[in-house]
Amino acid sequence: MDLKPIISLTLVIVSLLFSQTVLAGDAERRQAKRIHDRLVGVTASNAVIDAMEQLLLGNSVGPYAGDTSGKTAAAYAIDTAQNPNARYFYNVTLKNFATPWTNEEQTVFADLNDYSATVVGAVRDGLDFRRILYDDLLYIGSAGGVPAYANGNNNHYAQLEALGPVAGDLSNPSILRGPNQGITQSAITGLPSTATAGIMTSRAASMAYFSDGTNRAMFRFTLMNHMCTDLEPIKDVSRIPDRVRRDVSRSPGGDSRIFLNNCVGCHAGMDGMAGAFAYYEWSYTNDKTDGSLVYTPGTVSNKHNINPDNFEHGYITVDDSWINYWRNGQNWLLGWGPAVNPDSKGNERGNGAKSLGQELANSTAFAQCQVDKVFEAVCLRDPNVQSTDRAERDTIRDAFRGAYGYNLREVFTDVAAYCKGS
Amino acid sequence: MSAKRLPQWIVIAVLAVFSAACDTGGSNTVANPNLGGDDGGYNGPAARTEDIRSFQLNFWTFLKEDNRCGQCHGSGQTPTFVDLSDVNAAYSVAIQYVSLIDPASSQIVAKAATGHHCWLGQSAGAACASNIEQMIINWATDSNVTSGRQIQLTPPTIKSPGDAKSFPASATDNAPDSFANRVHPILVANCQGCHTETAQPLPIAPFFASNDVDSAYEAAKPKMDIDTPANSRFVVRLGAEFHNCWTSDCGTLPNPSPTSDAGVMLQAITDFAGAIAPTPVDPLLVTSMALNLGDGIVAAGGNRHEANLVALWEFRTGSGNQAFDTSGIDPSITLQLNGSYQWLGGYGLDLANGWAFANNFDSEKLKTFIESTGEYAIEAWVVAANVTQEDASILGYTGGSARNFTLEQNMYDFRFYNRIDDPNPQSLNGEPFYTTGDSGEELVQSSLQHVVANYDPINGRSVYVNGQLVAAADPVTGPTTIGNVVWDDNFAFVLGADAAGSNDWDGQVRLVAIHNRVLTQPQILQNFDVGVGQKFYLLFYVGHRIGIPDSYILFEVSQFDSYSYLFNEPRFINLDPAWTPGGFAIQNMRIGINGKEALAGQAFANIDVTVNATNYNAATGQLLSPLGTIIALEKGSASDEFFLTFELIGTASHTFVDPQPGAPAPPADPPNPVASDIGMRTFEEINSTIAAITGVPTTNAAIESVYADYVQQLPTVEAIDAFLPSHQMAIAQLALTSCSELVEDRGNIARTAYFPTFDFNANAQDAFDTAGERALVVDPILTAVMNVDQLQPANNLTTQPTEAEITNVLGAMTPQDLDPALAGDSYDSLITQLLVGGPNDATRTRQIVKAVCAAATGAAVMIVQ
């Protein structure tokens, strides 16, 4: 007898029952379950639900003091010392939170890599999250049978992930090792420390955004992933276009209105900043997944001066200097941090990816973007729609920049508490 | 007929096209030049010098004809620069009216430009002038006269930037004196016969009489002079050129009667222009003096290599339906424009769904000249409209779908067809074609590109793009020949399509030249470096700002395309060659147009240069920026007025204030919640949750295999409204596999630990014959899936169904009622159903446990978070 039809029918009936029945009951227990579900991603044991319920009722549990807001209960849920399933917060929730940022297709079905592992580690260790854009930062695995980190492939991380959430537990500092264990990106990859820029110079990001093209992809995708905006919404045609390169046609299809009304709106700002990547290139022969990052200090990669005849009077990239013209005009609203090396107009200037990473990471947009992403992951909705959500987001953002010292774990617990339901 | 001749139907089709061309007013044909070396019947004294011989071959021979200058200036009427009886005497006269150093500045060229007895028609003076200019260039080239022309910078008339009018943003602005109210109705009423997209039989661009007032407005702007309405092209066309007046009274400029056609049009434009308020120049700005493009000094185009030119189209006419061959080599191959085309500002033709063709008699010049050498080069400046068009014929010497040669765009590739003498019938059609795609590069871009296609018998075909040889081989190897009989003289030269009007190419063509020798790489680079279009040097006076007379900012300016100007490489220069700078700063320079600073394109707004003796050169000045930028065209090259502004020049300063808009107001809250309060677990969360429920790890081989197969069928987003049946099927597979692994004791938790005291070895009927036995299976599953607290039921979550409800669905001993409000919805529990009919053994027992486990694990309580 084939079981599948009967099981499927029963499964549907059970599903109907679950989805239709809403009874009054113990609010804190429901809130505990939701907080756990949203953060950890898997069901909680009764013991953990009990403990979180007590915390939500204001009662202390072990080292955790009671807190009716839910923040402490959330912290408890992702504490591997308290909750055996907390490892899934790191191995599933955080990993999949970061994975789409690591590839151009924005797919979640990508292997663990040095970019996503570094994000997981940075959250786990409560690092200043800005460091992911500029620091000599990298997390690597340490587990039996996993090959060493290699500049030329991702086997190290793919096999670490294949070990599963126990043998390859990313929540375990002895398995996923980072700065607290003395690991630096420069020591592992051989890239000069001054050339490191957190995840921007990770192998995964380099392969995705430095391969082929013009390296503008690194700027655009960093903008999308960590400033939560694509170029189109921040287009400003009034910026100074003196850094727009020669490969940008000023008359696409013979119509310069397109350039003056559209193209220059992005390129004036983007080309000004993307010059920071002038010395980076993803080198490969046939399959780019087998390539590696090449850094050539003092030598601009050919791609920066490609197609010079499209507009021979355009900017010639001669070094890795950058300038942020978006500190003026409409994009001052991105909330740039204090300028370190501004020109007379307040446009910040620098050289290389590291200083550009700092420029981006110190903006309000960066902080707000991190909170927005967490909000969407935990509350399952956009925080920019309802005024109450916006206000809460702003509060958490300000705390993230202030009291939390850019610790993203705090944002996760804040947001989970806010969305714990009633 | 030769076996290599084309089928007759093709010839007929081609002739039909040519016939149509003649009907639409193509120029008359003339006899082909005599290449036999007998000087076309000239019996006078031989040329005494090489230069005179060059004059004779390149200039005198073409202009001495009766239908050109010879009728008057061959004898009798002075100056007799084409003296028919003595080429030496003609030379001594002609040399007074030409400049071999700067052919464009020749008096004879200027005279022709006025339309003075132009053989191409009175309104084609520019084309005749270009023709004569090219003849002089050819003469100079043969005589080895190289242009040593230095640009002579002469001070322009000093004028302050004036308040200027700009076209309103919309056709309906300033109503009732809007374009839509005043001018458009006249155009629609009287010009729609031709100047609209749907005109029959032949739409003629620009389409300023379109019913779409916005597109009509854009097309009409260049035809209206809002500073001096009487100078509007619309008015001049009626009042001076009497072009298709709609009444019997065209009116006569400069004072047409108010009821005449020109008078009505003038009044309409005057009303429209009168409502436009001039834009005042901000008195706080530190400005230069102002210039129009016409105030600039014409920059010589440089020396193009044209020693073996056969045909040349520069598309300078700017209007009409003909494009003239200005090579100076007879017969001129005049192109008839057809379909949807548009003349470009700054020279050129936009062939969006349009094409241009010559008649086959004129086109035969190409065959004659090219066969005389056996080699040729096609040179073109083009802008592809897109990189998606395939088999699109940019230009060709074709008939129907056959060809002597064709240059084609196929997406990112240029293709070059060349008909050769070969037994292979394919070769007659230029195939196999050469393609730049064989280089592995995507070369066609939707931007201005210089393309040269070379053919010679030894090296075959090659293509150069922007001066660079494309690394692609000619598929035809070995010596070839185009012979003397291979090319078909019934074919015609066509731009933008083949002769049948198919294989349409969309794009802009700025220049086309045919040479009957290949161009060498240095020659190609030479022509590439010269560029295309007319350039001007604009001298913006700044002496009044720095207190140093004769001081200017020098820009090279050209009309970049129909919508913008190119401002290139600004430099400071003082026209007094004895002057040396003492040192002063120039900072943050912007370009002003029509009374205001341009919004976009201010590439010099960040310069910071000190003009000093170290960097200043008396002849070339001091470069302020190596960059060029484009500034939007507003009223047209004849009307737009430019000036420069500075934040600092010398001691004069004005700080530019960059507007910083405030934050936008937050949006109002939507009336209803726009997102669900609950969502789904996603793919890996589901996998991990099932693992946590069953104790079967995700690294279990069976789970890994199923997960790998179904991972992309699981939910990737949390949105509850994105749930699909396919998600449920994938979840069911995972749940079934996990439960099977659990019951078969391949998980981390032994089945006897998971289901304590349940007898897995009993046959099915015995294992489930009591409610208590069934509870041994159901209860542990419910605890793991939905946190059922067996000891304290009050702890059960109230957002879920009750324990009893689920237990009954899975394992009730008696029939259950799904909904008391409904009749006939009674059902048996899962275990009861599975006990019916199946084998009564221990295997069946385990199957039933797996089923109960999977039904609970794969349900909504697991999926929803």
Among A18, A85, A259, the residue with its CB nearest the CB of B800 is A18
Interchain CB contact of B38 with A (< 8 Å): no
pLDDT band at residue B220 using 50, 70 and 90 as cut-offs: confident
Assess whether pLDDT exceeds 50 at residue B1.
no
Q: Which residue bears the tokens 């690092």?
A: A127
Q: Could you tell me what percent of chain B has a pLDDT over 70?
A: 93
Q: How far is CA B370 from the centre of its chain?
A: 33
Assess whether pLDDT exceeds 60 at residue B804.
yes
Assess whether pLDDT exceeds 90 at residue B152.
no
Give the range among A205-209, A270-274, B354-358 with minimum mean pLDDT: B354-358
Q: What would the pLDDT profile of B52-85 be if each residue is shown by its tens digit? A: 888 888 888 888 888 888 888 988 788 889 988 8
C-alpha closest to that of B629 among B576, B674, B550, B564: B564
Average pLDDT over residues B758-768: 93
Q: Which residues does A126 contact at the CB level (< 8 Å), separation at least 6? A: A407, A408, A409, A410
Give CA separation, B557 vs B293, B532, B631, B820, in Å: 8, 13, 10, 86
Q: How many CB pairs under 8 A join A and B?
A: 282
Pairing of the two strands B335-339 and B354-357: antiparallel
pLDDT of residue B510: 93
pLDDT, chain A, mean: 93
CA dist., res. B751 & res. B743, Å (int): 6
Strand partners, B434: B416
CB neighbour class for B267 (10 Å; exposed up to 12, middle 13-18, buried from 19): middle
φ, ψ (nearest 5 deg) of residue B452: -125, 130
pLDDT of residue A237: 93
Give the range among A251-255, B16-20, B327-331, B494-498 with minimum mean pLDDT: B16-20
Assess whether pLDDT exceeds 70 at residue B202.
no
φ, ψ (nearest 5 deg) of residue B392: -95, 120
Task: For residue B601, list chain A residues with Cβ-Cβ distance below 8 A.
Answer: 241, 260, 264
Give the range among A215-229, B110-124, B573-587 with minimum mean pLDDT: B110-124
pLDDT band at residue B301 using 50, 70 and 90 as cut-offs: low
Task: For residue B708, list chain A residues with Cβ-Cβ distance below 8 A.
Answer: none
pLDDT of residue A5: 52
Q: Which residues does A164 contact at the CB level (< 8 Å), separation at least 6? A: B697, B698, B699
Assess whether pLDDT exceeds 70 at residue B787.
yes
Gap from B601 CA to chain A (nearest CA, Å)? 6
Strand, helix or coil for residue A294? strand
Q: Is the dihedral of CA A32, A37, A43, A44 positive or negative?
A: negative
pLDDT band at residue B33 using 50, 70 and 90 as cut-offs: very low
Give A20 or B675, the one with higher predicted confidence: B675
Task: For residue B847, list chain A residues with Cβ-Cβ distance below 8 A.
Answer: 3
Best interface-test mutation with A: which of B383, B442, B597, B797 has the largest number of A CBs within 10 A? B797
Check residue A325 and report its DSSP letter.
Answer: G
Q: Which residues does B264 contact at the CB level (< 8 Å), separation at least 6? A: B186, B258
Average pLDDT over residues A159-171: 96
Query: Residue B179 is encoded by which pair of tokens?
Result: 């374009």
Highest averaged pLDDT of the listed ranges A25-29, B301-305, B393-397, B677-681: B393-397
CA dist., res. B637 & res. B643, Å (int): 14
pLDDT of residue B799: 82
Interchain CB contact of B24 with A (< 8 Å): no
pLDDT, chain B, mean: 87
- CB contact (8 A) between residue A43 and residue B445: no
Average pLDDT over residues B16-44: 44
Among B563, B669, B674, the residue with its CB nearest the CB of A387 is B669
pLDDT of residue B150: 47
φ, ψ (nearest 5 deg) of residue A371: -65, -40
pLDDT band at residue A39 using 50, 70 and 90 as cut-offs: very high
Q: Are B315 and B511 in contact (CB under 8 A)?
A: yes
Q: What is the ipTM of this complex?
A: 0.89
Q: What length does chain A have?
A: 422
Assess whether pLDDT exceeds 80 at residue B214.
yes
Interchain CB contact of B804 with A (< 8 Å): no
Interchain CB contact of B789 with A (< 8 Å): yes
Q: Is A421 left (phi over 0), alpha (psi -120 to 50) or beta?
A: left
What is this structure's pTM?
0.80
Q: What would the pLDDT profile of A330-375 be if each residue is shown by its tens digit? A: 999 999 999 999 999 999 999 999 999 999 999 999 999 999 999 9
pLDDT band at residue A267 using 50, 70 and 90 as cut-offs: very high
Gap from B801 CA to chain A (nearest CA, Å)? 5
Q: What would the pLDDT profile of B121-144 be if each residue is shown by its tens digit? A: 767 777 888 888 888 887 877 766
Highest averaged pLDDT of the listed ranges B296-305, B389-398, B478-487: B389-398
φ, ψ (nearest 5 deg) of residue B193: -60, -30
Assess whether pLDDT exceeds 90 at residue B473.
yes
C-alpha closest to that of B15 among B363, B365, B462: B363
Instruction: For B392-412, give the DSSP string.
Output: EEEEEEEETTEEEEEEEEETT
Number of neighbouring beta carbons within 10 Å of residue B639: 24
pLDDT of residue B13: 35
Instruction: For A35-57, give the DSSP string.
Output: HHHHHH-SPPPHHHHHHHHHHHT
CA dist., res. B716 & res. A353, Å (int): 32
Interchain CB contact of B861 with A (< 8 Å): yes
Average pLDDT over residues A2-12: 51
Highest averaged pLDDT of the listed ranges B15-24, B233-242, B653-662, B687-696: B687-696
Task: For residue A349, list chain B residues with Cβ-Cβ distance below 8 A.
Answer: none
C-alpha closest to that of B555 among B640, B627, B637: B627
pLDDT of residue B501: 81
Q: Which residues does A356 contact at the CB level (< 8 Å), separation at least 6? A: A134, A197, A273, A276, A322, A350
**Residue of chain A nearest B680, judged by CA positions:** A380
N- to C-terminal Cα separation, chain B:
84
Q: Could you tell me what percent of chain B has a pLDDT over 90?
A: 53
Instruction: Find residues 659-698 of chain B whose CB sits inside 8 Å of chain A.
Output: 659-661, 663, 666-667, 669-670, 673-679, 681-685, 688-689, 691-693, 697-698
pLDDT of residue A23: 34
